[in-house]
Amino acid sequence: MDAISSTHIERWLRDCANVFPAHKDELNELDAAIGDGDHGANMARGFAAIPSKLDALAGKEIDGLFRTTATTLISVVGGASGPLYGTFFLKAAAPAKGKLKLTLPEFCTCLDAGLAGIVGLGKAVVGDKTMVDVLTPALAALHPKNGDSLTGALERAVTTAREAAEATIPLLARKGRASYLGERSIGHKDPGATSSALLLEALLGAVQG
């Protein structure tokens, strides 16, 4: 099985500066239905700030790339999602300390730590209609199965993420702004769940090159 390199991670984080602006209107519209309509703008602004911060880190250890992404998102994004995604990258950095390459199991350890950080901060459980509804099954799907290639595992995670984002539609929101709507949150896809699926799609794209 091939490894995830610092170059893959850098490409992933840079690609997000294109992916999120391209999906800004879509994410804003989802958030307008059950929140305050700013999720697309928040994500686009946050990730657009990343590439210039990565310039000094080209070819450097993966933990530094994650930590810089974390501090940028926390300072630039605001709202609920800035600290949540910021914590994801901050906690993902620790197991990647000093590493220029990660095997898939090592990479899973990083992303699982990131998700644990989101859960620790936001206290959402699966079914609350948040990003946790996508990240939990998608990161579980990323763990290697017999004879998996790296891209095979990433494709499985992305398929799982897309399905999990759609599966938030019938749910009643129990966390964040959408929870204020109660029953009226039913019937809408969660914006943070959608952005988490986009984040994993960008990762697959970056690894495929």
Ligand X SMILES: Nc1ncnc2c1ncn2[C@@H]1O[C@H](COP(=O)(O)OP(=O)(O)OP(=O)(O)O)[C@@H](O)[C@H]1O
Binding residues for ligand X, per CB under 6 A?
31, 35-36, 38-39, 42, 79-81, 84, 118, 122-124, 130-132, 175-177, 190-193
Kindly tell me which of 47 and 99 has the beta carbon lying closer to ligand X. 47
Residue 70: which of ligand X, Mg ion, none does it interact with, CB under 5 to 8 A by kind?
A: none
Kindly tell me which of 74 and 96 has the beta carbon lying closer to Mg ion. 74
**Of 139, 144, 145, 143, which is closest to residue 160 (Cα–Cα)?**
139
Judge contact between 24 and 43, C-beta under 8 A.
yes
Between CA 20 and CA 151, with CA 56 as vertex, the angle to 5 degrees is 50
Q: Which amino acid is at 69?
A: T
The first and second tokens of residue 23, run together, are 């999906």
The first and second tokens of residue 77, run together, are 């994004």
Binding mask 8-47 for Mg ion (x = CB under 5 A): -----------------------x---xx-xx--------
Kindly tell me which of 13 and 178 has the beta carbon lying closer to ligand X. 178
Neighbours of 170 (CB within 10 A): 11
Q: How far is the CB of 148 from ligand X (least distance, A)?
A: 29
